[in-house]
Amino acid sequence: MRKRSYNAKEYNFVDIIKNLFDCKNLQLLHEKLPENIKYTELHKIGEDNKTWFHKKFYKPINEGNSQFQSLYDKFIFEVVSKFVDEASFLYQKTPTFRVHAPDNVAVGGWHKDSDYNHPSGEENFIVSLTPAYGTNTVWSESAPGLGDFSPFVMDVGNIIQFDGNRCLHGNKTNDTGLTRVGFDFRIIPFSLYKEDKSLKSISASRQFILGDYYSLCEKINV
């Protein structure tokens, strides 16, 4: 695991999400949930990206007018590319939005991404748009099979890069009283990419191929 940093003012994902949800404090985003929507049961695998929050986040992306998506692509090319050794790599076309509300989890179960058809060679990146700590953050083992789980402590402007493909990771029920908001994505060096149309993501049923799950980033002046 490596903790990276970026300029959160230049890549101001926080304000975009605040404006989208009309929420001045993202740690209180759970208070924006409409009263007629129940949010009491723990999320289950395959359903953790289908909440009211996720539908509102992905709607402008699916309609092709997302300010967040435009900034995300810029972020990949200008920031994340510095953390990847190869000149070309594939990255998750649409990032995974996370809302870890009080008394709930953000991910439906403890897992390795390889358990869910993700190809070997992928690396995971987590960007938190609120302070992340204790039971409202991601917990992971430090290396495959060690079982030495510890929390990813983050603040706005931090990026966690880790081997989520092989390391078991997940969430605990959030007892902090505050919501963690963020997003994560995966990259794979082009040299490790092998097109396999038989593998699909669980949440969106996207094929793990260029043009569907992945987009291409080619560094300039490498």
Q: Quick one: which H or E segment has residue 192?
A: none
Residues 34 and 55: their CA atoms lie apart, in Å, by: 13
User: Structurally, how many domains does the chain consist of?
Assistant: 1
The helix-helix angle for 13-21 and 67-78 (nearest 10°) equals: 170
Determine the pLDDT at residue 46: 65
Instruction: Tell me the pTM.
Output: 0.95
Kindly report the CATH number assigned to the domain that includes residue 166. 2.60.120
Determine the pLDDT at residue 77: 97
Other C-beta atoms closer than 10 Å to the C-beta of 34 total 7
Mean pLDDT by 10 residues, the chain (222 residues): 98 98 97 82 72 94 95 98 96 96 90 94 98 98 98 98 98 96 98 92 89 93 58
Residues 39 and 52: their CA atoms lie apart, in Å, by: 9
Domain containing 27 equals 2-218
Residue 48: CB partners within 8 Å, gap ≥ 6? 105, 106, 107, 108, 203
Cross-strand pairs, 188? 90
Residues 144 and 157: their CA atoms lie apart, in Å, by: 27
List, in sequence order, every beta strand (DSSP E) within 39-95.
88-92
Half-sphere exposure of 198 (CA within 13 A, CB side): 1
